[in-house]
């Protein structure tokens, strides 16, 4: 059975974007190239002197891992060489990277926000990690330096978003606002092939995913919801199962496939929540909503938050629609 490659699929879907003359297709191709190169390193991390710390602290106050830096370099190289990207906001860079000074990126239309390597704490443990990307169309005329307001767009203005999961197999899952499609890397031909067409997240699930180590600091509505998940109720098949991998991409890919809910509320260490709006919450919220799920910061829809800083964080409750709505009920009761 021959599968459709990512490139063939993108060309086929070209019709969804009458105004685009192939730029978005080429941008997605460039992201796929970086993902394949990173995958090659991840798959032999233990043999490639790519494990462990890079010895530098990033703007997040995290100890950068070697693979954080390597993945960041690969995305920057692929995007700046591809000529379709005018600006990159990366978790690993305090300031954004303006590519309009580069000859063949000068007139590029697309801004890319990227989490080059998600789940860094799991790299040395051989546990699944990922990459996350979010694509916007610039608002000002091409050819001039990108202004920060062009980067700090609402999540609902995203043109495309996706993630790569470097797991038992490597998959690229993305949306351009017309549903979600999943591609599995076939290492024998080095191509991402369509394996999960039109992905939909189950409306209900039986798995909740949260770092319960922070329980004492959670807002009351979150504590109430965790207790709700743990109560015996055969009708709603509770108690639910608790699953927490510690890589957002892996926890949310499982949630996409079997349903469930993922929460990273505000904690003592992260009073605004830990996950970053521009390159973790927004892209994952766009994908989950396009698959029929829901994504809130608590009070509001993630995609309706007006960003004010590149690396701002947000609490997040995301997953199966009915489960997120149940959390909303607890939130309302506690208001």
Which residues line the annotated binding site for substrate?
118-121, 211, 244, 274
For the annotated binding site, the residues are 91, 115, 117-121, 211, 244, 274, 280
Binding mask 255-294 for Mn ion (x = CB under 5 A): ----------------------------------------
Q: Which does 274 bind (CB under 5 to 8 A by kind): Mn ion, ligand AHG, none?
A: ligand AHG
Strand partners, 98: 87
**Nearest to 99, CA basis, from 114, 117, 112, 118:** 112
- Residues between 118 and 147 that touch Mn ion (CB under 5 A): 118, 120
247 part of the interface to ligand AHG, by CB under 6 A: yes
Among 72, 84, 91, 251, the residue binding Mn ion under the rule CB under 5 A is 91
Q: Residue number with the shortest CB distance to Mn ion?
A: 118
Let me know: does 335 contact 297? Beta carbons within 8 Å.
no
Q: How many Å apart are CA 73 and CA 66, to the nearest integer? A: 11
115 part of the interface to ligand AHG, by CB under 6 A: yes
Q: How many Å apart are CA 223 and CA 251, to the nearest integer? A: 20
User: Please, what is the minimum distance in Å from the beta carbon of residue 103 to ligand AHG?
Assistant: 32
Let me know: does 38 contact 166? Beta carbons within 8 Å.
yes
Strand partners, 171: 165, 184
121 φ/ψ angles, rounded to the nearest 5 degrees: -65, -15
41 part of the interface to Mn ion, by CB under 5 A: no
Structure tokens at 14: 């070209």
Q: Which does 121 bind (CB under 5 to 8 A by kind): Mn ion, ligand AHG, none?
A: ligand AHG
Q: Which secondary-structure segment (H or E) carries 278? A: none
Structure tokens at 72: 């960041």
Q: Which is nearer to Mn ion, 95 or 333 (CB)?
A: 95
Q: Choose the stretch contacting ligand AHG; rule: CB under 6 A; options: 134-142, 163-171, 240-248, 324-332.
A: 240-248
**Nearest to 35, CA basis, from 122, 95, 114:** 114
239 part of the interface to ligand AHG, by CB under 6 A: no
User: Please, what is the minimum distance in Å from the beta carbon of residue 130 to ligand AHG?
Assistant: 8
**Nearest to 265, CA basis, from 227, 221, 230, 228:** 221
119 part of the interface to ligand AHG, by CB under 6 A: yes
The count of other CB atoms within 10 Å of the CB of residue 269 is 9
Q: Give the footprint of ligand AHG on this chain (CB under 6 A).
A: 62, 91, 115, 118-121, 211, 246-248, 274
Q: Give the footprint of Mn ion on this chain (CB under 5 A).
A: 62, 91, 115, 117-118, 120
């Amino acid at each position: 059975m021959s599968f459709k490659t990512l490139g063939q699929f993108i060309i086929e879907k070209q019709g969804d974007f009458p105004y685009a003359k192939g730029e978005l297709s080429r941008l997605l191709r460039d992201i796929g190239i970086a993902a394949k190169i990173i995958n090659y390193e991840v798959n032999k991390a233990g043999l490639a002197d790519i494990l462990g710390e890079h010895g530098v602290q990033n703007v997040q106050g995290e100890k950068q891992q070697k693979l954080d830096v390597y993945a960041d370099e690969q995305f920057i190289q692929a995007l700046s060489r591809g000529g379709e990207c005018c600006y990159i906001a990366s978790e690993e860079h305090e300031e954004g990277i303006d590519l309009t000074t580069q000859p063949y990126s000068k007139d590029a239309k697309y801004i890319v926000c990227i989490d080059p390597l998600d789940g860094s704490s799991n790299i040395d443990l051989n546990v699944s990690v990922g990459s996350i990307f979010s694509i916007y169309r610039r608002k000002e005329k091409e050819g001039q330096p990108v202004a920060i307001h062009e980067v700090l767009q609402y999540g609902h203005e995203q043109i495309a978003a996706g993630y790569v999961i470097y797991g038992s197999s490597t998959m690229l899952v993305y949306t351009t606002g017309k549903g979600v499609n999943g591609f599995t890397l076939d290492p024998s031909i080095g191509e991402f092939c369509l394996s999960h067409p039109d992905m939909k997240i189950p409306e209900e699930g039986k798995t909740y995913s949260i770092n319960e180590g922070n329980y004492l600091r959670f807002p009351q509505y979150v504590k109430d919801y965790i207790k709700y998940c743990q109560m015996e109720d055969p009708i709603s098949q509770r108690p639910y199962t608790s699953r927490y991998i510690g890589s957002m991409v892996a926890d949310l890919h499982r949630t996409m496939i079997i349903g469930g809910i993922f929460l990273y509320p505000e904690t003592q260490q992260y009073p605004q929540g830990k996950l970053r709006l521009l390159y973790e919450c927004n892209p994952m919220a766009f994908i989950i909503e396009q698959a029929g799920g829901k994504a809130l910061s608590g009070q509001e829809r993630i995609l309706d938050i007006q960003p004010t800083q590149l690396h701002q964080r947000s609490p997040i409750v995301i997953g199966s629609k009915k489960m997120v709505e149940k959390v909303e009920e607890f939130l309302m009761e506690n208001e």
